[in-house]
Copies of this chain bind each other. A is one copy, B any other.
Amino acid sequence: MVKPTLMDVAAAAGVSYATADRVLNRRGGVAEKSVLRVLAAIEQLGYTRDVTAANLARGRSYNYAFLIPAQAGTFFGEMRAAVKAEAKARASQRINIMIEEVPAFNSDGLAEVLESYIDRDLSGICLVAIDSPRVRKAIQALRAKDVFVLTLVADTQSDSRDAYIGLDNLAAGRTAGRVLSLASRDGGVVLPIAGSLDATDHALRFKGFKQAITFDVTVLPVIESFDRPENVADAVRSTLEAHPNLTGIYSIGSGQNGLFAALSEVQKSVTYQRPVVVLHDLVGSVRTALTIGLVDAVIDQKPDQQIARALDAMKALSDGETLPPDFGTIVPSLYFQDNMPPAPADGPEKGPSL
């Protein structure tokens, strides 16, 4: 009942360990019939290689790097924390993870860091892509050196990386639309605020949003805030003035502080019911706003899950597996005050025990 070893396989196949090993590791120079017998034995015994022992013998360890934009207090902050947590958790399994801060919104800065990684002994690298010729070239150079390249959150051209892990933005937008439609069942007016529709993620969210809006709900023209809090606040204020009957707001991008400011003004004057507010990413201030009921629903892209998924993907690729088609698709989560996950804490402590 114990797990069979390659020795057992060899014995069952009636060959030597060496031959079984040659088959398993495709070293060649084995007669057809022996190959078959070994494979049959593997099949019959249900043998699976003990990967940990194999890695030990090979002296192999997995080195991965994560390039996370330096942008404090945002979604990327959570992401960094998640990477750190995973790094700690997997340290004892021969998985080494490096975290590097890269300047935000700066393709040359990103490219520079990428280029600096070309000669480190890496198995995989994970980055939030900013498309530019230089970045693309750096990625190609890495892949040419057998480094797996995954994009996270933001993608490049799909043929220039090995996988993309990121939110299904269309689904996210549709979810937002669904919530606001439900909340405006007898007709209503809703306001979408995006950062910029030139950003593909925002554009996709907006598209999904419109898809899910039911016919009797009016969607006001989308406002582009360029993620500046003042712009968001102004937009909300002036819209509320023009449409006192506003039933919903969908904040597609960032600049949430402006949103909160404008909303708390409304909350004080109780003359009308405040619109239902849906926004993105359950981070710091958003969490607070949801808790105190300043906003109603948050669509989250689960940074921790994305990191875990990315690592699983890189490990699988390193082990020569292929990823299922939509492995990287992150389904948006919808959180109310009521089903908010606990704020991320540090993982379980462990001493150097047993």
Contacts and interface: CB of A to CB of B under 8 A. Distances in A.
Interface of A: 3, 24-26, 39, 42, 47-53, 55-56, 61, 91-94, 96, 168, 171-172, 174-175, 177-179, 182-186, 208, 212, 247, 273, 276, 296, 316, 319-324, 326-327, 329, 331-342, 345, 347-350, 352-354
A290 to B, nearest CB: 11
B336 A178 contact: yes
B183 A48 contact: no
Contacts of A339: 168, 171-172, 174-175, 331-334
A161 to B, nearest CB: 18
B183 A354 contact: no
A341 B349 CA distance: 33
Nearest to A42: B352
Given A91-B48, A172-B339, A316 B178 contact: no
A43 to B, nearest CB: 9
A26 to B, nearest CB: 7
Nearest to A342: B326
Given A175-B336, A179-B182, A212-B338, 12 more contacts: A52-B55, A52-B93, A56-B56, A174-B339, A175-B339, A182-B183, A319-B350, A321-B350, A329-B342, A331-B341, A332-B339, A334-B336
Contacts of A333: 333-334, 339
Given A178-B336, A334-B339, A339-B331, A50 B320 contact: no
Contact of A182 (B47, B182, B186): B182
Contacts of A326: 342
B94 A50 contact: yes
A354 B320 contact: yes
A342 B171 CA distance: 12
A273 B181 CA distance: 14
A145 B276 CA distance: 55
Nearest to A179: B182
A205 B186 CA distance: 28
Nearest to A273: B185
13 contacts: A48-B91, A49-B92, A49-B352, A53-B56, A168-B339, A171-B338, A179-B182, A182-B296, A185-B276, A186-B186, A208-B338, A322-B349, A334-B336
Contacts of A320: 350, 353-354
A178 B50 CA distance: 49
A3 B341 contact: no
Contacts of A348: 316, 321-324, 327
Nearest to A327: B348
Nearest to A23: B352
Given A56-B53, A341-B331, A48 B296 contact: no
A74 to B, nearest CB: 22
For A182, A208, A273, which residue has the most chain B Cβ atoms within 10 angstroms? A182
